Structure formats: structure tokens, C-alpha cells
Amino acid sequence: MLLRLRLLTTSLVSGGLLLVVLCLGAQNLNDRHSLRLGDAKSAELPTGFLVGMSIVAGVISGGSTAALLLPKPRT
């Protein structure tokens, strides 16, 4: 149980730190694009920010999945 909690906390904290660094680094980027999601369009965001958000989402979801799928220790 402690290993799961530590792995989940580590993935959330590292994802949060990556998000903070990404937001600070993406402030001065001029090349902006928007995503088309069906009929809707997102706000115009820098390309590096969009790629970075997918990396952050992957780190958080991968760490959470690994924490949840750990086998239970045998007693």
C-alpha cells in the first residue's frame, strides 16, 4: 500500500512540476495553433505547449496506472 501511494504521489508531483515548467517556458512562443475537436476549436496555443501537455498527461496517467496495477503483496 505504501509503495502504491509513493508511486502515485511521485507521478502527480512530477507531472505538476513539468506543468509549471511548461507554462513558464511557453509564455514567449509566437507560433500558435488551435486544435479542432469535432466541430469545436480550442484556443490558439503554442505548439510546444500542446506537445508538452500531452507529455504531462502521459506521465500522470502512466504513473497512476502503474500504481493501480501493482499486484497486492502476499502475506
**pLDDT for position 2:** 85
Give the pLDDT confidence of 23-49 residue by residue, as tens digits.
888 777 777 888 788 899 888 888 788
In this prediction, what percent of the chain has a pLDDT beyond 70? 99
Q: Model-level pTM?
A: 0.74
Q: Which residue has the higher pLDDT, 27 or 71?
A: 71
Please state the length of the chain: 75
> Quick one: how far is CA 53 from the chain centroid?
6
**pLDDT for position 72:** 80
Q: What is the DSSP string of 9-60?
A: HHHHHHHHHHHHHHHHHTTT---EE--EETTEEPPPEEHHHHHHHHHHHHHH
Instruction: Report the DSSP beta bridge partners of residue 45.
Output: 33
